[in-house]
């Protein structure tokens, strides 16, 4: 079967003053799945986002998305995008930060950077989460000069270096340490506990690498250097302090939601700032739905498949909301 692909949009921002059935904020797996489904419900849809791919851009390979066996994360992003944009014709506008939405009658007025100024009857927030910071001396100062928040992105820059540190005990830290062990002579995996959140598969693989040293029950106190990072100061639970000579520090300690802007708009969140939804991805504001890593539900199991599923559900709920309110106008 051959597929006829729709033409790509040329404009870089949605036309000012345009009206939509649904505006999807964010273009990770949740946002792009929402776009695909919204289009299938024949809703006039648009995606506005800072980037395309979200946290998939921080992963190397994906081998747990059903049906795709093993796929490069960048390829999966391209496929998600093509599915929503080329096959179903939903325009995707990037490099835009949505800053505000307010209700005006049956619609929301949505504004953001680069002059974003559009109206929509519903909104799906698929805004993901941002990297958590350690908050220790030297971290900010050396960001981009040896401090990195993305092992997958920056590992090749350290090829042939003596040593790096990876901080964290989740999948990202473990995956990063394994990857980095192929580029540098020594990797210190620094974790504040001796139990890991990472999948056992990753932990076992990291333990098999002879050049990964686990520095457990330990926290980073300071990152030191001159023009670039030279060392990291680590304190263990028994009070022992060590200064490890490293060329880089990869901070992989998870994510937090971009809560500041949406909390100020009256969205209900949990204590960590993740958006509260019911099982239909409805938020406390009628007409506003949320999906993906920014939602409180499934917080302990953030997976691509869950993000995609919640995006699909949010689109269905937007459609149901519009239908029940009699807000869909068909030509
Ligand atoms: P995560 O699972 O939340 O793990 C964060 C780790 O950082 C935890 O071990 C945590 O320690 C530690 N941590 C948090 N705050 C800290 C602090 N202030 N100081 C020191 N350590 C701190 O985050 P993630 O590894 O980035 O993964 C996020 C999500 O993406 C997860 O759902 C993960 O499964 C998924 N992911 C999947 C893959 C994959 O399957 N290939 C790859 C990457 C990410 P504690 O354990 O003590 O809390």
- For CA atoms 256, 45, 50, 68, the dihedral sign is positive
> Looking at residue 4, what is its pLDDT?
45
pLDDT band per the 50, 70, 90 thresholds, residue 331: low
Residues 6+ apart with CB under 8 A from 300: none
Q: 199: exposed, middle or buried (C-beta count within 10 Å: 0-12, 13-18, 19+)? A: middle
Helix (H) or strand (E) holding 322: helix 304-324
Cα–chain center distance at 80: 15
Cα–chain center distance at 251: 16
Probe target for ligand 1 pocket from 171, 216, 217, 232, with the most ligand atoms within 8 Å of CB = 171
> Looking at residue 315, what is its pLDDT?
98
pLDDT band per the 50, 70, 90 thresholds, residue 60: confident
- Indicate the DSSP class of residue 266: T
pLDDT band per the 50, 70, 90 thresholds, residue 63: confident
DSSP string, 185-236: SEEEEE-SSSS-SS-HHHHHHHHH-TTEEEE-SEEEEEEEESSSEEEEEEEE
> Looking at residue 123, what is its pLDDT?
98
| Token pair 């790509």: residue | 8
For the stretch 125-183, pLDDT in tens is 999 998 899 999 999 999 989 999 989 888 999 999 999 999 999 999 999 999 999 99
For the stretch 192-203, pLDDT in tens is 999 999 999 999
Residue 328 has pLDDT above 90, yes or no: no
Closest protein CA for atom 22 of ligand 1: 253
Q: 226: exposed, middle or buried (C-beta count within 10 Å: 0-12, 13-18, 19+)? A: exposed
Chain mean pLDDT for the chain: 93
- Mean pLDDT, rounded, for 31-46: 97
Closest protein CA for atom 33 of ligand 1: 171
The residues assigned a catalytic role are: 150, 153-154
Using alpha carbons, select from 44, 36, 12 the residue that is nearest to residue 122: 44
Probe target for ligand 1 pocket from 131, 218, 251, 254, with the most ligand atoms within 8 Å of CB = 254
Residue 55 has pLDDT above 90, yes or no: no
> In the chain, how many H helices and how many E strands?
7, 19
For the stretch 236-260, pLDDT in tens is 999 999 999 999 999 999 989 998 8
Atom of ligand 1 minimally distant from the CA of 193: 47
> Looking at residue 298, what is its pLDDT?
82
Q: Is the CB of 293 under 6 A from ligand 1?
A: no
Atom of ligand 1 minimally distant from the CA of 300: 32
> Looking at residue 9, what is its pLDDT?
46
pLDDT band per the 50, 70, 90 thresholds, residue 330: low
> Looking at residue 144, what is its pLDDT?
86
pLDDT-above-90 percentage for the chain: 84
Distance 318 CA to ligand 1 centre (A): 32
Using alpha carbons, select from 263, 311, 309 the residue that is nearest to residue 284: 263
Residue 5 has pLDDT above 80, yes or no: no
| Contact (Cβ atoms closer than 8 angstroms) between residue 171 and residue 252 | no
Using alpha carbons, select from 225, 299, 252 the residue that is nearest to residue 131: 252
Separation CA 317–CA 331 (nearest Å) = 22
Residues 6+ apart with CB under 8 A from 74: 53, 56, 57
Distance 231 CA to ligand 1 centre (A): 23
């Amino acid at each position: 079967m051959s597929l006829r692909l729709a033409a790509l949009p040329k404009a870089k921002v949605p036309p000012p003053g345009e009206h939509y059935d649904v505006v999807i904020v964010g273009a990770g797996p949740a946002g792009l799945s929402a776009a695909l489904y919204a289009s299938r419900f024949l809703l006039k849809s648009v995606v506005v986002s800072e980037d395309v791919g979200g946290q998939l851009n921080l992963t190397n390979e994906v081998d747990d998305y059903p049906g795709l066996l093993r796929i490069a994360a960048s390829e999966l992003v391209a496929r998600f995008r093509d599915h929503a944009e080329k096959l179903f014709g939903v325009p995707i506008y990037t490099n835009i930060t949505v800053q505000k939405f307010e209700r005006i009658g049956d619609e929301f007025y949505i504004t953001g950077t680069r002059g974003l100024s559009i109206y929509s009857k519903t909104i799906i927030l698929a805004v993901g989460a941002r990297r958590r910071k350690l908050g220790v001396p030297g971290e900010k100062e050396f960001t981009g000069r040896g401090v990195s928040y993305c092992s997958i992105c920056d590992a090749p820059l350290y090829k042939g270096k003596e040593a790096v540190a990876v901080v964290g005990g989740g999948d990202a830290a473990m995956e990063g340490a394994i990857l980095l062990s192929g580029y540098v002579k020594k990797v210190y995996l620094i974790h504040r506990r001796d139990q890991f959140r990472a999948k056992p598969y990753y932990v076992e693989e990291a333990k098999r690498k002879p050049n990964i040293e686990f520095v457990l029950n330990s926290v980073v106190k300071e990152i030191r250097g001159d023009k670039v990072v030279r060392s990291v100061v680590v304190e263990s639970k028994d009070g022992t302090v060590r200064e490890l000579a490293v060329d880089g520090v990869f901070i992989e300690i998870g994510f937090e939601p971009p809560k500041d802007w949406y909390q100020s708009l009256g969205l209900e969140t949990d204590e960590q700032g993740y958006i509260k939804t019911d099982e239909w991805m409805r938020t406390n504001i009628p007409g506003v739905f949320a999906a993906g890593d920014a939602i409180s539900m499934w917080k302990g199991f953030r997976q691509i498949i869950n993000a995609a599923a919640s995006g699909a559900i949010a689109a269905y709920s937007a459609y149901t909301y519009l239908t029940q309110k009699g807000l869909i106008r068909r030509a």
